[in-house]
Amino acid sequence: MLALLRQRLPEVLKALAPLVALGCVLQVAVVHAPLALFLQFLAGSLFVVAGMLLHAARASSVPASRAADDATAGRLARVVSLEVPPG
Protein backbone atom coordinates (compact mmCIF):
# COMPACT_ATOMS: atom_id res chain seq x y z
CA MET A 1 0.00 0.00 0.00
CA LEU A 2 2.81 2.40 0.84
CA ALA A 3 4.46 1.68 -2.50
CA LEU A 4 1.18 2.43 -4.26
CA LEU A 5 0.85 5.74 -2.42
CA ARG A 6 4.39 6.67 -3.39
CA GLN A 7 3.60 5.77 -6.99
CA ARG A 8 0.45 7.92 -7.05
CA LEU A 9 1.88 10.95 -5.22
CA PRO A 10 3.59 12.52 -8.27
CA GLU A 11 0.38 12.18 -10.29
CA VAL A 12 -1.69 13.85 -7.60
CA LEU A 13 0.83 16.64 -7.12
CA LYS A 14 0.98 17.26 -10.88
CA ALA A 15 -2.78 17.68 -10.86
CA LEU A 16 -3.02 19.95 -7.82
CA ALA A 17 0.24 21.90 -7.79
CA PRO A 18 -0.84 24.39 -10.48
CA LEU A 19 -4.07 25.14 -8.62
CA VAL A 20 -2.34 25.62 -5.30
CA ALA A 21 0.38 27.72 -6.95
CA LEU A 22 -2.27 29.91 -8.58
CA GLY A 23 -3.96 30.34 -5.20
CA CYS A 24 -0.66 31.39 -3.65
CA VAL A 25 0.10 33.87 -6.44
CA LEU A 26 -3.36 35.39 -6.16
CA GLN A 27 -2.94 35.64 -2.39
CA VAL A 28 0.29 37.60 -2.75
CA ALA A 29 -0.68 39.72 -5.74
CA VAL A 30 -4.39 40.46 -5.41
CA VAL A 31 -6.34 39.03 -2.51
CA HIS A 32 -4.19 39.74 0.57
CA ALA A 33 -6.41 37.56 2.77
CA PRO A 34 -5.58 37.24 6.46
CA LEU A 35 -2.83 34.78 7.28
CA ALA A 36 -5.19 32.45 9.16
CA LEU A 37 -7.45 32.15 6.10
CA PHE A 38 -4.51 31.50 3.79
CA LEU A 39 -3.22 28.79 6.13
CA GLN A 40 -6.68 27.20 6.05
CA PHE A 41 -6.42 27.15 2.26
CA LEU A 42 -3.04 25.43 2.44
CA ALA A 43 -4.26 22.91 5.02
CA GLY A 44 -7.31 22.18 2.87
CA SER A 45 -5.03 21.61 -0.09
CA LEU A 46 -3.08 19.04 1.90
CA PHE A 47 -6.33 17.29 2.83
CA VAL A 48 -7.30 17.19 -0.84
CA VAL A 49 -3.95 15.60 -1.71
CA ALA A 50 -4.42 13.02 1.04
CA GLY A 51 -7.97 12.29 -0.09
CA MET A 52 -6.95 11.84 -3.70
CA LEU A 53 -4.12 9.53 -2.67
CA LEU A 54 -6.42 7.40 -0.55
CA HIS A 55 -9.02 7.29 -3.29
CA ALA A 56 -6.41 6.21 -5.84
CA ALA A 57 -5.15 3.53 -3.48
CA ARG A 58 -8.65 2.22 -2.82
CA ALA A 59 -9.69 2.33 -6.47
CA SER A 60 -6.71 0.28 -7.54
CA SER A 61 -7.16 -2.29 -4.77
CA VAL A 62 -10.85 -3.01 -5.45
CA PRO A 63 -11.27 -5.41 -8.37
CA ALA A 64 -13.84 -4.38 -10.91
CA SER A 65 -15.98 -7.45 -11.37
CA ARG A 66 -18.58 -7.89 -14.04
CA ALA A 67 -21.02 -9.40 -11.54
CA ALA A 68 -20.91 -6.32 -9.33
CA ASP A 69 -21.53 -4.09 -12.33
CA ASP A 70 -24.49 -6.24 -13.39
CA ALA A 71 -25.96 -6.19 -9.88
CA THR A 72 -25.67 -2.41 -9.75
CA ALA A 73 -27.32 -2.08 -13.14
CA GLY A 74 -30.17 -4.34 -11.99
CA ARG A 75 -30.77 -2.28 -8.85
CA LEU A 76 -30.73 0.91 -10.89
CA ALA A 77 -33.26 -0.53 -13.34
CA ARG A 78 -35.59 -1.45 -10.47
CA VAL A 79 -35.33 2.05 -8.99
CA VAL A 80 -35.99 3.69 -12.34
CA SER A 81 -39.01 1.44 -12.99
CA LEU A 82 -40.55 2.61 -9.68
CA GLU A 83 -40.90 6.16 -10.93
CA VAL A 84 -44.49 7.37 -11.13
CA PRO A 85 -45.39 8.84 -14.51
CA PRO A 86 -46.51 12.47 -14.41
CA GLY A 87 -50.08 13.02 -14.77
pLDDT tens, residue by residue, 39-79: 999 999 999 999 998 888 777 766 655 555 666 666 666 66
Q: Is residue 24 part of a domain?
A: yes
Whole-structure pTM value: 0.63
Residues 6+ apart with CB under 8 A from 60: 4
Q: Is residue 73 part of a domain?
A: no
∠ CA(12), CA(13), CA(19), 5° rounding?
105
Question: Could you tell me the residue range of the domain that residue 18 belongs to?
Answer: 2-59
- 8 A C-beta contact, residue 36 and residue 76: no
Q: Is residue 77 part of a domain?
A: no
Q: Is residue 66 part of a domain?
A: no
Question: How much is the mean pLDDT over the chain?
Answer: 82
Q: Is residue 84 part of a domain?
A: no
Number of separate domains in the chain: 1
Q: Is residue 72 part of a domain?
A: no
Q: How far is CA 8 from the centre of its chain?
A: 13
